[in-house]
Chains A and B, each alone.
Chain A
């Protein structure tokens, strides 16, 4: 590809228009920053507004009743591309779920935030809507161990998710069945 060079007039060849133009632009920016505001965001103090749908760190959520939604099905563990999630199920004689209509809840649920790639597959695959990519984007720790988030931490950070309670109406129906007295 050939680019035709523009013919400069003798006035332009003196570099003076270039200098004046440069001075005008630099002064405009300098004055704007000095009298108005720099475009810089003073990061730790000011933070940007995270848009909805942002894929930040994945956390476990609780339902409206404060119960753990996760049922330890391990689908997220299987689907996780970088293998960041590790779930220890309760086992046959383990602790039962803290909500009715759930067979089990994880004994341990860990996400290694150093491995997580924030792809959102765990959220997509979860049949219980128990894990969501939330808005945290700045995860810091002093050690590698600190960056492995355990169940308590994930639940505390995830908070309550006011979504559907999948088995709630089944439970209600079952209760109504028990209340029903044949005439």
Chain B
């Protein structure tokens, strides 16, 4: 039995990384499933409807008071949705380009999952740091991976070999590339303030209370007007990057009958769907880390690295709580603003937001240089 403990000791890093990956992916998938439910419920409520409230698992639904309440809440709906997409016929139309058609859903989904590798979702649990890969260039990695997601959509539009998906793919390539630049520009002031590209270190920069405002956490959104502007630009770009309304040009149900995923069915369609929500979660996580202090809260000693297991769990809870707030924002904005026209979208991206982002970098740099 000696060799087992020896192997574990030697490969501790690999084993714990694998465990972290498994947990993070499981958590992400659960959140994807339930954000679909939240989306359906919130959308329903905004439209005066009730949303999913029928799905019931026999034994759990039979529990006196809790059971019917959970059924009304639609808690079991994601299970039914998942089962349904597995059982549906996976139809491949005759006119598609088969290889790309099969490749596209995977290409659309994988980048969103890869992004979470560098996002610190907690401080420490025991001796383990709660981030899968603590890269020094974490943000560069994230932007590199996020921009890969466009290939899935473009590929889907090309592979489908019919007009609506094709238009969706074209729109998406133009839109995602232009907003990618804006997104990259918008976070530079944060790095100028923080002085690092490592996401975990950026969180330490945001610990504690604000320097000159009472009862305001020292998060990057509140640290200066420049970083606040950064956040606004990043938020807008995030909506465009994740293809959410008001910028859902590639999908655009009303004009393009579903856009790039028109020809897809069953699990392939579900993979696009999961990719979209995973991307939303990843971008929300990124916003929490960059602008809203990651897993920290300025009181109760929660802005220090955790020393005990409960504290570590509390940090993970705080991170997920902040992330869910952003998910609700994503969902809510869908019903607040009507969709932009395609030219308005490009106009907004290149002529309005990008200059502001560039000016923001220069102003921040000048201010920091003057202060030093």
Contact = CB atoms under 8 A, between A and B. Distances in A.
Contact of A38 (B50, B335, B336): B50
A42 B52 CA distance: 11
Interface of A: 15, 18-19, 22-23, 25-26, 29-30, 32-34, 38-40, 42
Interface string B35-48: 00000001011111
B332 A26 contact: yes
A15 B48 CA distance: 25
Contacts of B1: none
B95 interface: no
A23 B48 contact: no
A32 B336 contact: no
Contact of B49 (A15, A25, A40): A40
A26 B46 contact: yes
B165 to A, nearest CB: 30
Given A29-B48, A33-B49, A40-B49, 18 more contacts: A19-B336, A19-B337, A22-B336, A25-B336, A26-B332, A29-B45, A29-B47, A30-B42, A30-B45, A32-B48, A33-B44, A33-B45, A33-B48, A38-B48, A38-B50, A40-B48, A40-B50, A42-B50
B45 A34 contact: yes
A39 to B, nearest CB: 5
A40 B193 CA distance: 51
Contacts of A42: 50
Interface in B324-339: 332, 335-337
A172 B33 CA distance: 75
Which A-B residue pairs are the 5 nearest by beta carbons?
A22-B336, A33-B45, A38-B50, A39-B48, A40-B50
A10 to B, nearest CB: 12
- B contact patch SS: helix
B49 A39 contact: yes
A30 B41 CA distance: 10
Nearest to A25: B336
9 contacts: A18-B337, A22-B336, A22-B337, A23-B332, A30-B42, A32-B48, A38-B48, A39-B49, A40-B49
A71 B167 CA distance: 66
Interface of B: 42, 44-50, 332, 335-337
Nearest to A38: B50
Contacts of A18: 337
Given A22-B337, A26-B335, A38 B42 contact: no
Contacts of B47: 29
A29 B50 CA distance: 12
B29 to A, nearest CB: 28
Contacts of A26: 46, 332, 335-336
A32 B332 CA distance: 16
A38 B49 contact: yes
Contacts of B48: 29, 32-33, 38-40
A18 to B, nearest CB: 7
A177 B336 CA distance: 82
Contacts of B49: 33, 38-40
A94 B63 CA distance: 61
Contacts of A23: 332, 336
Nearest to B45: A33
Contacts of B42: 30
A12 to B, nearest CB: 14
A117 B45 CA distance: 36
B312 to A, nearest CB: 34
A57 B335 CA distance: 41
B107 to A, nearest CB: 33
B46 A30 contact: yes
B109 to A, nearest CB: 30
Nearest to A28: B46
B343 to A, nearest CB: 14
A25 B48 CA distance: 12
A30 B44 CA distance: 8
Contacts of B44: 33, 38
Best-surrounded residue of B46, B332, B335 (most CB of chain A within 10 A): B46
